[in-house]
Structure 1
Amino acid sequence: MKIGNLSLKNNIFLAPMAGITNLPFRTLVREFGCSLAFTEMISAAGLVRNTGKSYRYLDSSPDDRPLGVQIFGSDTEVLAEAAQIVTDRGADLLNINMGCPAKKVVRTGAGAALMKNPLQVAFILQAVRKTTSLPLTVKIRSGWHHDDMKAVEIARIAEDCGVDTVILHPRSAEQGFSGSADWGIIENVKKNLHIPVIGNGDIRSAEDALRMMNMTGCDGVMVGRGVLGNPWIFKDITLCFGGQDIFPSPSLSEREIIIKRHLNMETDYAGGVFGVRSFRKHLLWYTKGLRDSFQFRQKVLTFTD
């Protein structure tokens, strides 16, 4: 698959997720077949102000390629300047977040709040497109609320502004992550665009990914929460898309190897204490649903160091 001038080995992507998709996690999922992984969402204003935390999100490595960087904000000039910074830092692809429903984001006019303002979307995308030659993508929702679906309108604006690919999570901003993703909206957007459309939302298995592709005609899939505690989902989807049988879920011993590798990657990156703290949530996801895991999980929740 190609996005702009970027060639990818497949059409299976990792969604940007705050607090999750840091360098160790991106590196891990690539080992299972993910072809394009995104950073956590990064404040455009933070990049422009040169804050250390924002720049930390740009950390990468030779094994972490190709790299998609997602930025968010509502100020046209700031987003354009941040796009230049991301370009200069060597990213492979840029994504503008127009779908985050978090209150602290939307109250600044950023994220999914932009779905309410098509004119501002056009101003932003035109400015960013003029600034960078990187492949440019947007991640959008179906709309702000259920009765005001703007996905097709915003997607058309994106295409007209030179965006290379639209990524769609078909829930409204007001839904957050509740209810079900309406994949029919992905199908509708795909029918109205000439650029690739990537579907996102409610992909928890390889079968879900294949069903989304078949139902909507989308050009690829982006896995979000379905990867938590389940990084091998990318291997399963790759096999499924290739018409091959999916392997059984990893055994306990195989899972232990993956867990230890992930933990080591986190501690190598962030240091012992911070790496363990960062990894704790992943350990809960890895062990969820396993036999006799309740007491272990309760102990993990009480760890302080």
Structure 2
Amino acid sequence: MRIGPYAIDPPVVLAPMAGVTDKPFRQLCKRLGAGLAVSEMTTADPRLWTTRKSRQRMDHVGEPDPVSVQIAGYDPAMLAQAARYNVDHGAQLIDINMGCPAKKVCNVWSGSALLQDEPLVARILAAVVNAVDVPVTLKIRTGWNRDNRNGLVIAKIAEDAGIAALAVHGRTRADLYQGEAEYETIAAIKAAIRIPVFANGDVDSPAKAKHVLEATGADAVMIGRAAQGRPWIFGEIAHHLATGATLAPPSPREVQGILLGHLDDLYAFYGEAQGVRIARKHLGWYAKDRPENAAFRAVANRAESAGEQQRLTREYFDALAADAAHEFAAAA
């Protein structure tokens, strides 16, 4: 599939997630098979663009093409200005956030709160599309709540405004992340518009990705929470879609290499102190499906330096690798 001049190959996309899809994580997911990685949302308020957090979110130096930056806000003129600013700072795609269900975002009439005001949605999309020469994409939910599923109406507004691609999380704002994703709604949206559609929600395995693409007719799948602690899921899905085969899960030694490299990138990007703090949640995600998770998480969270954090991580995965080798030898 294509978004403007950019081929999205494989059709497996990292969803924007606040506090997660920073530059080190986007680069890691792209290396491991994501065809596109969307940044965590950046504010449209220019008064906040000079903060340390905003400067880090707008750093795209060395990031593989295409660079997709998500912007969030409620004012059409302000969002248009934010789009221009981010394009001037390296964005090759602009994504508009109308999908975030968080209270602090919706309470300022941003994210999925905007789905309640279709005329405002139309004004925002037109303003941003007309402000920049790069493709503009949009991320939405199926509606504000189950009594107001207007995702299909919003999708048509988006197409008419010149939006280049649409990502649909198959839940309403009121559903947050509960219940099952509404793939039938995504299918109806895909059937009604001509622009590419990303299906998002509960895609957590290669088999599920294939099922969702077949059930919805979508052009690509978008992966969010399932990539936390499992960035190799993109390569697994891409391989399955291309061949029908299922890759073996990475060994503890392979996970160790991926994780230690991720830690190095976090320290380099944020500096040691901040990098160590941010790394803690990633360490917990990497270990969540593994034995002795609670013990490892407790130990890793005590580390105050990069060296100590790396040492504890290396020792943990060394022990896992040794156990795996013993089990293999016993079975041979």
Cα distance between partner residues in 2 of 1:282 and 1:8: 26
Instruction: Report what 2:251 is aligned to.
Output: 251
Equivalent residues of 1:190, 1:218 under 8 A apart: yes
The one-letter code of the counterpart of 2:203 is I
**C-alpha spacing 1:49/1:39, structure 2 compared with 1 (3 Å):** closer
Equivalent residues of 1:141, 1:151 under 8 A apart: yes
Equivalent residues of 1:26, 1:64 under 8 A apart: no
- Gaps (5+ residues) in structure 1? none
**C-alpha spacing 1:63/1:130, structure 2 compared with 1 (3 Å):** closer
Instruction: Report what 2:270 is aligned to.
Output: 270
* Higher helix proportion (structure 1 or 2): 2
Structure 1 residue 293: deviation in Å? Answer: 2.9
User: Which range is displaced more, 283-292 or 212-221?
Assistant: 283-292
Cα distance between partner residues in 2 of 1:15 and 1:46: 24
Does residue 179 in structure 1 map to residue 197 in structure 2?
no
Equivalent residues of 2:26, 2:38 under 8 A apart: yes
- Output aligned runs, 1:117-132, within 5 Å: 117-132=117-132
Cα distance between partner residues in 2 of 1:49 and 1:211: 41
Cα distance between partner residues in 2 of 1:180 and 1:115: 20
Cα distance between partner residues in 2 of 1:49 and 1:55: 7
Equivalent residues of 1:42, 1:57 under 8 A apart: yes
Structure 1 residue 265: deviation in Å? Answer: 0.8
- Output aligned runs, 1:84-233, within 5 Å: 84-233=84-233
Percent of counterpart pairs with the same letter? 39
The one-letter code of the counterpart of 1:53 is K
Across the aligned residues of Structure 1 and Structure 2, the Cα RMSD in angstroms comes to 1.5
The one-letter code of the counterpart of 2:260 is K
Cα distance between partner residues in 2 of 1:6 and 1:257: 31
Instruction: Report what 1:30 is aligned to.
Output: 30
Structure 1 residue 31: deviation in Å? Answer: 1.1
Cα distance between partner residues in 1 of 2:166 and 2:8: 16
The one-letter code of the counterpart of 1:188 is A
Structure 1 residue 10: deviation in Å? Answer: 2.2
Cα distance between partner residues in 1 of 2:237 and 2:76: 37
Alignment partner of 2:20: what SS?
A: coil
Alignment partner of 1:96: what SS?
A: strand
Cα distance between partner residues in 2 of 1:62 and 1:56: 13
**C-alpha spacing 1:253/1:52, structure 2 compared with 1 (3 Å):** closer
Instruction: Report what 1:70 is aligned to.
Output: 70
Alignment partner of 2:243: what SS?
A: coil
**C-alpha spacing 1:47/1:171, structure 2 compared with 1 (3 Å):** farther
Cα distance between partner residues in 2 of 1:49 and 1:40: 14
**C-alpha spacing 1:264/1:86, structure 2 compared with 1 (3 Å):** same
Cα distance between partner residues in 2 of 1:46 and 1:287: 38
Equivalent residues of 2:48, 2:54 under 8 A apart: no
Cα distance between partner residues in 1 of 2:235 and 2:47: 34
User: Which range is displaced more, 41-50 or 207-216?
Assistant: 41-50
**C-alpha spacing 1:63/1:71, structure 2 compared with 1 (3 Å):** closer
User: Which range is displaced more, 245-254 or 205-214?
Assistant: 245-254
Structure 1 residue 50: deviation in Å? Answer: 4.2
- State the TM-score, normalized to the length of structure 2: 0.88
- Gaps (5+ residues) in structure 2? 306-332
Instruction: Report what 1:15 is aligned to.
Output: 15
Alignment partner of 1:143: what SS?
A: coil
- Output aligned runs, 1:40-55, within 5 Å: 40-46=40-46, 50-55=50-55
Equivalent residues of 1:4, 1:136 under 8 A apart: no
Structure 1 residue 302: deviation in Å? Answer: 4.7
**C-alpha spacing 1:287/1:49, structure 2 compared with 1 (3 Å):** closer
Cα distance between partner residues in 2 of 1:22 and 1:300: 21
Instruction: Report what 2:290 is aligned to.
Output: 290
Structure 1 residue 226: deviation in Å? Answer: 0.6
The one-letter code of the counterpart of 1:117 is D
Cα distance between partner residues in 2 of 1:163 and 1:104: 26
The one-letter code of the counterpart of 1:297 is R
- State the TM-score, normalized to the length of structure 1: 0.96
Does residue 3 in structure 1 map to residue 8 in structure 2?
no
Cα distance between partner residues in 1 of 2:289 and 2:49: 44
Equivalent residues of 2:209, 2:221 under 8 A apart: yes
Equivalent residues of 2:60, 2:90 under 8 A apart: no
Deviations 1:59-117 (A, max 9, x none): 11324321110000001110011111112112110100001111111111110011000
Structure 1 residue 131: deviation in Å? Answer: 0.5
Cα distance between partner residues in 1 of 2:82 and 2:205: 35
Cα distance between partner residues in 1 of 2:225 and 2:27: 17
User: Which range is displaced more, 254-263 or 57-66?
Assistant: 57-66
